Amino acid sequence: MSTSIQSQGTAEVHPDVLLVERARGGDMAAFEKLVRQYERQVFRIAQHIVQNREDAEDVVQDAFLKAYGKLDQFQGNSKFYTWLVRIAVNEALMRLRKRRTGRMVSIDEDVETEEGSMPRDLADWSPDPEALYGQSEMAEILRKTIQGLPPGFRVVFVLRDVEGLSTEETAESLGLSVPAVKSRLLRARLQLRERLTRYFKKGSRGKAQDGVK
Amino acid sequence: MTCTEFLQQLDEMLDPAIAGPLRAELQQHLRCCEHCEITLNTTRKTIEIYRKHEVYELPEDLRERLHQAILTKCRGCAK
């Protein structure tokens, strides 16, 4: 029946937990495996928060270094990845704070906005919006659009919808409640949808080009 | 069901695993509200597009450099 019922040494243990155990015992190859597994995701999340490649590189290094130093504190009751993401998000926010010296930056920043809570542009999209733009043009549109969101919305959208964490894992990674994640996610999705409509609505090609560059 | 109520439950419609009476109620609203249908479809597409396109790629040479830097630092602080 359910795998969670299995016990007596055969209980399902996430492979990451075994790698963490080995790494704690000084097995660097085990930790290297964890780094290889998650470095891309951590880099993407960091980039989305700090929006600057150099800072994102530093965040990735600092996050893994910190995780390595804190391996003893990893309880194993959450996924290693969720735990790592939480460290990386905190590092990224700290980095952002340093850059905007004197300005507090938190995931609670700018969430008061009412923008996007109700859709305004209800034009339907072209049936295949991706065919309207080339690969790099599309990446630029997506980057520009998501950069316009407040950090508190951006990070929720990225963790939940892009990186595929569950609502509960997203909440855990950000130290937020599940209802707070749900409400931010809704607002983030609606704001992105609204902003992308400008580029993707039927007959938009040409007009939108002005906005890309 | 009003459009505002529908939007509050948008998450349920985006998750194919959700079934039951709530979903039926949401679908009922969709049948008579073109605006919400467009909002649902374009929101779904928004998520798909962001999932599909790598907005921030990690180039292989940078990945390798970062990887080595991390391991070197960790080895340096290993007991």
Please name the residues between 23 and 52 in chain A that touch chain B, using a CB distance below 8 Å.
26, 28, 31-32, 35-36, 39-40, 43-44, 47-48
**pLDDT computed for residue B51 by the predictor:** 93
Predicted confidence pLDDT, tens digits, chain A (213 residues): 334 444 445 567 888 999 999 999 999 999 999 999 999 999 999 999 998 899 999 999 999 999 999 999 998 878 999 999 999 999 998 998 887 765 555 656 555 555 556 767 778 898 888 889 998 899 999 999 999 998 889 999 999 999 999 999 999 999 999 999 999 999 999 999 999 999 998 877 654 444 454
* CA-closest candidate to residue B44, choices A161, A171, A138: A161
Greater model confidence, B17 or A85: A85
Its pTM stands at 0.84
Q: Match 């194993």 to its residue by tokens.
A: A76
CA distance B33 to A213: 36
The stretch B48-74 carries a mean pLDDT of 92
Burial of A173 (0-12, 13-18, 19+ CB in 10 A): buried
CA distance A192 to A144: 10
CA distance A183 to B7: 11
Q: What is the ipTM of this complex?
A: 0.88
Q: What is the residue-wise DSSP string for A64-125?
A: HHHHHHTGGG--SSS-HHHHHHHHHHHHHHHHHHHHTTT----TTTTTT--TTSS----PPB
Chain A residues near residue B70 by CB distance under 8 angstroms:
35, 39, 60-61, 64-65
